[in-house]
Structure 1
Amino acid sequence: MKANRFAAVMGTGIVANAGVTLPVQLDGQRQAAAVVWAAASALMLLLAIHPKKADTRNGALPMAIMTVGAGALLAGRVWIGDAAAVALDAVLWSAGTAIGLATAGAALRRRPAAGPADPTSLLPVVPPLVSASTGALLLPHVPDAIRPGLLGACVVLFAAGLPVAACTLARVCRAPRTAPAVWIVLGPLGQSATAALLLGGATGHGTAALLFALPVLGAALLWGAGATMVTAAAVRRGLPFSIGWWSLTFPVGTVVTGVTGVAAQTGLAAAGWLAVALYAVLLAAWVTVAARSVTAGKSWRWRQQVEPRTASVW
């Protein structure tokens, strides 16, 4: 499966969303996040106008839509107001969820190839987890009459999406570690932890959610350490720039939001500062990849396949 240009929308949007929810807020941070959200929105519109420029068949499209929608609620409301932000998020969440269910269903119907799966095979099956977490963010802002239905839908999406993502993840983890695709594995780990914590808070099962999220985030941090070594080895061997480098952004951002959720629930200062440190890593990765995307020139000609440069350290 090819990498997808909508990954740039996801990677840009998560920078805004994670920045707004961090436990440490600086002057101007929300305004800066709004600017980044606007950039993600503009890029998504550009890709929508030129659909031939991006593959719309895998899960990057619905995740991009829902990331921008959540960003409207978290960051964009500074500019467009609360009512418009809630309405926009509701529309984009509904559209993203519908498309995500279609891509996940198509992936389940497709007969998997023998042997380990490529990390990009995670893209079609993660959207239900994104729907669960972004829908939970929307819960406090919808009318009381709608809230139970939305909460139930989010719980079902999480319960249905988690085992599918876990089975796909198990196949992916047996594949050779290649950079930068190795970072995609962090996506379902961080997203499932984020969704569990948000839904746990909404349903009154925060302790159970925390018990689920902590080992998952621990595994994500360990995988991230290994992915860093794989990537460093590949860069030393001359890893070329490609659109696949956006794998360094959104998956890391989901770990940031997961750790932020732990900090919010436990009040642990260590968790809060870990979230800030991981956000600094995310921001550095985003600046690097975005700058390379611009300087590469004629961005629509980015190579869509990641070079098969393997640097396994496991």
Structure 2
Amino acid sequence: MHIKKFLNVVICIICVSAFTSCGSNDDDQLPIASGISNQNEAAEADAMLSQGRAYEAAKKNSKALSTYKAIFKQYPQTNSAAEAKYAQARILDQQGDLLKAFDAYQDVIARFPSSPHYAAAISRQETVAHAAANGVIQNSFLGMKTSIGPENIEKMLGNVRDNAPRAISAPKAQYAIARVWQRNGNANKAIAAYQRIALDYPNSGNAPEALYQQGEILTLKAKRGNQNTAHVDRAREIYSELIRLYPSHSRATDARKRLATLRVQDVQRSYETAEFYRKKGQSKAALFYYRELLRKVKSGSYHDLAKQRITDLGG
């Protein structure tokens, strides 16, 4: 009998503990709103929403914003919270406070996927992110403008991409990320961003351009650096891949031209290296590069010059 009473007490303690732990919520990790709430909360949220709209109609946007924020914080599971958050985003957008508007639109998208304003929030957020990517945007109702750092732009565009991963906006956002890093001179991050397009969105309209830009970056790196043959070889592979995958695309034509240019530069580099060693009196090394040149081309001015040099050196 004592054992049975003891077990009943233990079970009660466990149940109470489970109930209290499940009842605690971190305000910073609110779940997706279901729109389900008790009647009192819904009524109070509705009343506050009406008050907020009245403030907005009276052009008292500061009070309207405060009211909308309070609804979202106090009654996050109500339908009024979704309406309030979208209204907040819309006011901030209209005031030109685009960065805060972007975050408010993100709340609508992440927390209220069944909201009738979901599509509008997706569309407007995309517009704001691309405005940031394209340069300087107004970011406060005072009309002041600021340049947004590439890390923040990448985060904004990443939200646009991930909010609708199967929409046409996704590869477009990823391409914009790559362009931002390319404009900022970060070749490695730009190439990585372009590569993601090839992997995740190979059938998108951005894929051929993404491949081409990778080749351009690598070619430029080789030109500005120490003529790193690894960069040139990788660029050649990428241009060839572009031609193979998208043979009728306009960038395939450009890639063929780039490959032809790289071949000429490669031959020229071999000839110049051979000439360097010849002038230094290192005939063995010079002959190596002259013969290498002949393996690369079967005709042309460099071919003829190399052939004559081999004869002159007794090779």
TM over 0.5: no
User: TM-score, structure 2 length as denominator?
Assistant: 0.33
Structure possessing the higher radius of gyration over alpha carbons: 2
Higher RCO, 1 or 2 (CA under 8 Å, sep at least 6)? 1
